[in-house]
Chain A
Amino acid sequence: NAGVTQTPKFQVLKTGQSMTLQCAQDMNHEYMSWYRQDPGMGLRLIHYSVGAGITDQGEVPNGYNVSRSTTEDFPLRLLSAAPSQTSVYFCASSSLGGTEAFFGQGTRLTVV
């Protein structure tokens, strides 16, 4: 029972570097999302997908790209890392809109 798997768990980047956060789910869920969590704030939606080939922007999309070529995978790309992107990132999936979301373990990203 893997559920939602995020890698890596920790990452340190230098300003200007790029990287991809991986997210995979094995529950055949249509909905997948990426959130960031900053101290004292709730989770904020970066990008989401309602099915393979369909993505849309959330509340804080700038500096991030996503693609959804398969139902299982939903990678998040940081194009040119900035210190403001230091955060904890969560990937989530759900079977339908309005149903329980299952979360990955989170990725703690530090940009120096």
Chain B
Amino acid sequence: AQKVTQAQTEISVVEKEDVTLDCVYETRDTTYYLFWYKQPPSGELVFLIRRNSFDEQNEISGRYSWNFQKSTSSFNFTITASQVVDSAVYFCALSGEDSNYQLIWGAGTKLIIKP
């Protein structure tokens, strides 16, 4: 069965600090997809990134970067020079044939950026 674990329930940092959100997954699929979504206090779900299991290149988008390591089944998310607007709940999710390509979600990490 597929599973996503986000062990960090809540992280609090001061603005401009770097912060890494951890995501560990389990799957029997050889082809699968990993996602990060952001849920700001307003409640909507905002797509951040999708990565397929054959692409282990790290991704950088502005202050955001993602580190995918199949060897450790991890897909970690780093925010560099955090800002108050980054405060949100961040979800990691997994989909693959084992779940009929439906999203399996981690419990989320609540990120608090203090000014």
Contacts and interface: CB of A to CB of B under 8 A. Distances in A.
Interface of A: 31, 33, 35, 40-45, 48, 50, 56, 58, 88, 90, 92, 96-103, 105-106
B47 A101 contact: yes
Determine the interface band of chain B, counting residues with CB < 8 A from chain A. Answer: 20 to 34
Given A35-B105, A96-B101, A100-B50, 16 more contacts: A33-B103, A40-B9, A41-B108, A42-B93, A42-B107, A43-B105, A45-B102, A45-B104, A48-B100, A99-B33, A100-B47, A101-B47, A101-B103, A105-B43, A105-B44, A106-B43
Most B Cβ at <10 Å: residue of A35, A45, A97: A97
Contact of A103 (B6, B9, B44, B108): B44
Interface in B73-98: 91, 93, 95-97
Nearest to A94: B101
Contacts, number: 60
Interface of B: 4, 6, 9, 32-33, 35, 43-45, 47, 50, 52, 91, 93, 95-97, 100-108
Given A43-B91, A98-B52, A98-B95, A31 B108 contact: no
Most A Cβ at <10 Å: residue of B9, B50, B96, B101: B101
A61 B97 CA distance: 20
Contacts of B32: 98
